[in-house]
Amino acid sequence: MAVRRVAVTGLGAVTPIGIGATNFWQALQAGRNGVDRITHFDPSSFPSKMAAEVRDFHPEEWIDKKSARRMDRFTHFGIAASVMAMEDAGLTTAGFDGERAGVIIGSGIGGALTIEEGARVLFNEGPTALNPFFVTKLLINMTACLVSIRFGLQGHISAPSMACSTGANAIGDAFRIIQRGEADIILAGSAEACITPLAYGGFCTNRSMSRRNDDMLRASRPFDRDRDGFVMGEGAGIVILEEMEHARRRGARIYAEITGYGNTADAYHFTAPDPDGKGMARVMNLALADAGIAPADVAYINAHGTSTPLNDKTESSVISKVFGEHTPRLKVSSIKSMIGHLMGAAGAAAMVATVLSVFYDVVPPTINHQEPDPECTLDYVSHEAQPLTIRYAACNSFGFGGGNACLVVKKYTDE
């Protein structure tokens, strides 16, 4: 049995620089910066005081008010991005077999806001005052479940949680399921909304976030010599994956094709990447082999690029090793310079951007990349977007605990 091809036919995004895939993409090309002082709570007593928040988001545009009150903010994001993706794919009006359609939406932390609000109520008012929807609001799987209910997706359902690589894992799992013939359509991605005092404070204490409070717009600076940590963000990214012939038969617009996926573990440390980058190298090599291509076929890499000293150095070194003589011709950029680190949603937002890069032949920039680091020597597409003919692109995602994922995206042709 031939391996089935997998198309991307719909995109949805909720990000700090744009709501909707089109707005997100336009902002990326313009190098727009979504970082500013936190408004979700008073950050005065925190050592870091900035984040990339989603502004002007109104869940009632996608969810009825009564239902929205029973959901956490991360679920609002996930459902909104899912509705956008389904509409973009033309699947809200087209008929499809619900038993052959699934949903995989994960999150790194899930209902952080609900947990903190619940704890305050418990300690101040007692257990009987807790919201009856407390448990269902905080569960990571609830976004996937509610999306399946809304659209009648009765096939495969799951909700991975692999820290920062969650979104890429969700999309990679969906790719495999369609390849194997177990589904024709899967809505996949991730959502996160953890800019809350407890979650934010926890990341402050492990000293992984930037403390550039006097220069917030330049705090997220992947691969720059003066980087001092990541900037927390929030949002969601959703892609509609569809078996190629299924998409063609219904006349769907096809953005791109996913052709390769790799997933490995460092098995090394709680937070730090393996300094030798063996897991990162292996995941990229696995994804390239799965796609059946050579390193020289890849034109662009959407890097994990967190703006942390260890990650950026290790990722740069590994890319140089994997791509060898082709490295000087590679374009590499990190959209986290503009949207911050969306945590569990980072990989999904990055995949939306990567698909659009391949579709439009444009590489978004790495803004704030001002001072070259002698240990980060790639072409990071500094400051401004660049046109580039892209047949293949790769998207990297690496998470706390050593989880690595890499996806390969190919320009669609009707061959």
Q: Determine what percent of the chain falls in helix, strand and coil, rounding each to the nearest 5.
A: 40, 20, 40
How many Å apart are CA 217 and CA 323, to the nearest integer?
A: 32
For residue 342, the 8-state DSSP code is -
The encoded tokens of residue 218 equal 């330049």
Q: How far is CA 35 from each of CA 83, 230, 368, 392, rounded to the nearest angstrom? A: 26, 11, 12, 30
Q: How far is CA 106 from each of CA 82, 153, 348, 356, 368, rounded to the nearest angstrom? A: 12, 16, 10, 22, 30
SS (H, E, C) 281-333: HHHHHHHHHHHCCCHHHEEEEECCCCCCHHHHHHHHHHHHHHHHHHHHHCEEE
Say if CB 134 and CB 110 are below 8 A apart: no
Burial class (CB in 10 A: 0-12, 13-18, 19+), 160: buried
How many Å apart are CA 29 and CA 378, to the nearest integer?
A: 20
Task: Point out the catalytic residue in the list 76, 156, 304, 369.
Answer: 304
**Known catalytic residue at 341:** yes
Task: Point out the catalytic residue in the list 76, 156, 246, 341.
Answer: 341
**Known catalytic residue at 145:** no
What are phi and psi for residue 190, nearest 5 degrees? -160, 165
Say if CB 307 and CB 231 are below 8 A apart: yes
**Known catalytic residue at 395:** no
Identify the sign of the CA torsion 81, 82, 88, 93. Answer: negative
Amino acid at 214: D
How many Å apart are CA 381 and CA 367, to the nearest integer?
A: 8
Question: Active-site positions?
Answer: 164, 304, 341
